[in-house]
Amino acid sequence: MLNGVILDVDGTVVRGDEALPGARAGLDLLEERGLRRLFVSNNPTKPAAAYEERFARAGFDVAAEEIVTAATVTTAYLDRHHAGADHFVVGEDGLRDILSAAGVSVTADPAEATVLVASIDRAFDYETLCTAMRVLADDSVAFVGTDPDMIIPAAEGDIPGSGAVIHAIAGVAGRDPDIVLGKPSAPARELVEARLGVDPRECLVVGDRLDTDIAFGAAAGMTTALVRTGVTDDATLATSDVEPDYVLDSLADLDAVDALS
């Protein structure tokens, strides 16, 4: 029996500010079944309140309390493991604002950094790459990634995500991140499970990515459903070591999940 559902956002429910085909029918079905729900996004640039507004523009009534992002996970992780550290952020102003608002010390001076946080940065350039390499030349500086998404679905089409920036920095620094947060990381699972308050064995995860959404659910012992409305095509599905319990054309097909039918 299912008592809760975790839903990815981009590529699963919306693309940009537009609802994806089948999203309304799927969310209505979950509401009819009375499942507790949580929307979990690997986007680290927007606070939950901004997602609430974005869902409203797409025609959905979603409260900020129902939304967890990679920024939520990153803030919690840094507060727990690097309290009092000075964080140099390779990322966008939205992430810096979220961290600062949560009391995380963010520095613009690379020489002060004791933690480097790497994330999606649409202004990422060669100078930024050089700076990150110099910061991480000091092995005592922690290297934290917000999320692993190499490609993300955007209104204008798929674009490079945080994973692309993290890999570029890791390549020149000659060291892997100490941790990459967001889905499917253990810190993300712990935070989401605590927020949802449902036994993982009674939870369904729905998303468009095998390496994040489906891997997240599989690691926690949840039922998993992949939707074809995002970045995963049949060729990727056929060669992946990560296998979802269900493959659906869209959220409208959630009634194919045995526990929901």
3-state secondary structure labels for all residues of 17-50? CEECCCHHHHHHHHHHCCCEEEEEECCCCCCHHH
Torsion sign across C-alpha atoms 124, 43, 118, 177 = negative
Contact assessment for residue 252 and residue 232, using Cβ atoms and an 8 Å cutoff: no
Structure-derived torsion over alpha carbons of residues 31, 184, 236, 243, reported in degrees to the nearest 10: -70
Structure token pair of residue 55: 């869902």
Sheet with 223-227, strands from edge to edge, namely 67-69, 36-41, 4-7, 203-207, 223-227, 246-248
Catalytic residue, candidates 10, 149, 211, 213: 10
Question: Is residue 10 annotated as part of the catalytic site, yes or no?
Answer: yes
Residue with tokens 């922690």: 142
What lies within 8 Å, CB to CB, of 2 at 6+ separation is: 33, 35, 202, 203, 204, 223, 257, 259, 260
Q: How far apart are CA 163 and CA 149, in angstroms?
A: 5
8, 121, 147, 211: which one is catalytic?
A: 8
**Is residue 139 among the annotated active site residues?**
no
Q: What amino acid positions are annotated as catalytic residues? A: 8, 10
